[in-house]
Amino acid sequence: MKYDVGIILSHFHTWFGFTSRQKKRMDKGIELLRKGKVRFLMTTGGKGVFNPTARPVGEWAKDYLVKNGVSKRKILVEDKSTSTEQNAKFALEIMRKNSLHSAIVITSADHMSRAQRIFKNVFPKNYNLDFVVSDYFSGFWSVWDFFWHAGGWVKYAVDSLQRKR
């Protein structure tokens, strides 16, 4: 199946560059584009704890994609989000603006279940939404990612309770 866009969820970007996990997510997007599975790639991420630089992660990610052979015309940039929920909301806005109705969300295995719940809650049922794993726990980031992942579920639960009020 071919999707309108591959949405690459952001990870960390520091003054030293991207984490290996972020690179794997972007590389998976490039692979999907080259195989003809998606028409466009969307980078995500703004500024904040996960990106202490003055430039949004979405812009850094666009540069990475271009340096790796992706045409600028094939890249959409979401550069305001600071959470997975905002990734979904702002990605949906961009998709509506560009008349796109199907997406494959690209993220790491440990982030996938939470990303699926969030995106399925945010996206209307008439959008074709799918998900693909870019990588699994590995290297230095494994311990950090475990705690980050656990914290993400806590945040998701708190946000869910607040929405119900």
* Residue 9 token pair: 């969820």
- The CATH number covering residue 63 comes to 3.40.50.620
Residue 34 and residue 54: Cα distance in Å, rounded? Answer: 31
Q: Span 65-69, mean pLDDT?
A: 97
Note the pLDDT of residue 88.
96
Note the pLDDT of residue 164.
66
Q: What is the number of domains present in the chain?
A: 1
Q: Span 130-140, mean pLDDT?
A: 76
Residue 155 and residue 137: Cα distance in Å, rounded? Answer: 21
pLDDT tier, 32 (very low <50, low <70, confident <90, very high otherwise): very high
Residue with tokens 């008349």: 99
Task: Give the residue among 134, 70, 126 at the shortest CA–CA distance from 102.
Answer: 126
Task: Give the residue among 30, 51, 53 at the shortest CA–CA distance from 42.
Answer: 30
Note the pLDDT of residue 21.
80
Average pLDDT of the chain, as a whole number: 85
Which of the pair, 119 or 113, is modelled with greater confidence? 119
Q: Span 5-26, mean pLDDT?
A: 82
Note the pLDDT of residue 122.
96
β-partners of residue 13 are 18
Note the pLDDT of residue 154.
64
Note the pLDDT of residue 83.
85
Q: Which domain holds residue 33?
A: 3-164
Note the pLDDT of residue 46.
80
Residue with tokens 């990610």: 61
pLDDT in tens, 42-53: 999 887 666 566
